[in-house]
Each structure stands twice: as structure tokens, then as C-alpha cells.
Structure 1
């Protein structure tokens, strides 16, 4: 059984994953101005859902952690829970496209996407997390 993370380890995890989300967006040419903490959520050490304000005053949702790092425009969901559901469905559809390519490497990545999508869907349906 894993030992619980200390308060410092949890703070480090949040900081590291926030920095990774900002770096991910920067690599795509998107500059982060701030994080909307009230709407961002994290389930340490599994995943984080960040609502980030960009320098052009638009907003994006970013998910990272033990899931593929991905982003979507703010209007796709009105809450972190909705974003989790969105990525669950999106990754399922992406996996189907990868399976259709009949390539071993693509199939392995599709398997990974499906496993993460199923995990997200379970998190989305867990009322205790969102209550």
C-alpha cells in the first residue's frame, strides 16, 4: 500500500503539474496569464483539471497527470467534471480511429487512451468526488 503524500509533496505535485500544463500550452504557442483556482480541480496523484486564462483573455481547460495532457476551449464544458467527461469521450473516439489504422504502435497507444478514458469516466460518475 502506498503511503499518503505529505502536505509538502501534495503542494509540489500541484505546482509541478500546473507548470507542466503551462509549458504544454506554451509549446503550442499559447501563453498563460493565470489559473482560475475556483474552477480547477486535482485528484493527487492521478490528474489535474486546470482552467487557465490566456494572454489574449480567452480561457482553456487543460488536463494532465497520469493521463495524456490535453486541452480544450472553455465553452466545451461549464465545470471540471464536464471536462473530465469530455476527455473521456474524446479519447474513446480517438482510440477508435487509431484501431482502424491496424498499426501495432497506434494500437498500443489506443489501448492506453481507452484505459485512461475509462478511468476518467469512472471519476466523472463518482458523486463523492464532485458532491
Structure 2
């Protein structure tokens, strides 16, 4: 009779291993998101990318030729999104940009009447919630002190 081995629970797993798995998962999510937009990533600029597991990751990614471009790509416990690197110099600036952009998107959904649809209302509320959280995180000097 063989003895079964129980899988470790989340509490028993190594926090560093969980963090690495989260980063890997959200890196793949960012790649897939860009691919769905018709952008094929060629490399990530890791030293300029940042993440705060399990909340968000902001990746600086280059696309393949012939139209080589660089983007900031957001993934995590929020809507995936991207913007040309020209919109923000640093990851922190990109987070601020996404925060403001999502506030405006939510406001436009409300103004257009789209939020009469329950799905659109939930999406607008999600955008506002995540935008506010991102703004707080990008504004928290303690999170960015080690990078100065």
C-alpha cells in the first residue's frame, strides 16, 4: 500500500518561492496581453521593471522588429494594460500614468452612460479602485526609497 504525500498548504510554502511563482505568472500574463494586442515582446528590461506581489507588476518590455518599440506593461490583481514608454520615464511614473488614465477611463464610462450596463459599471468601479490603490503605492516613499 503506497503512502500518499500531502501537498504543502500556502502557509507551509516558502514565501520566496511563492513570490517567484507570482512574478513568473504575471510576466507570462503581460506577454500574453501584449500578444493579444498584436505586439510580440522580444525582451524585458528587468532592472527598470518593478513588482509588488501580489498586487501588481510593471514591466518595461521591447517588441520585436520591424517596428521595435518599448512599452510599460501592467499586470497583477488589476486590469492588464500598456502604454508606450514615451508616456513615462520610470516605472513609478508609469504607475502614476496608469492611475490617472484609469480614472479618466472610468469617468468617460460614466459620462457616456455605458455604466447603465452592469458589466461596464463593475469595470468602471474596478478601474477607480485600482487607480486609487496604484496612486497610493506610487506616492509611498517607503516603497521607492531603496531605488533612489
Counterpart for residue 103 of structure 1 = 116
1:25-79 CA distance string (max 9 Å, x none): 1111111111000100000000000000110231000001011100000110000
Counterpart for residue 59 of structure 2 = 50
Q: Give TM-score scaled by structure 2 length.
A: 0.83
Which residue, 6, 13, 17 being the options, matches 2:22? 13
Counterpart for residue 91 of structure 1 = 102
The structural deviation recorded for 1:104 is 3.5
Change (3 A) 1:115 1:36: same
Aligned residue pairs: how many?
A: 130
The structural deviation recorded for 1:88 is 0.4
Q: Per the alignment, in what secondary structure is the counterpart of residue 63 of structure 1? A: strand
State how 1:111-126 maps to structure 2 within 5 Å. Answer: 111-126=125-140
Q: Per the alignment, in what secondary structure is the counterpart of residue 46 of structure 2? A: coil
Q: Per the alignment, in what secondary structure is the counterpart of residue 75 of structure 1? A: helix
Structure 1 runs of 4+ with >3 Å offset: 2-5
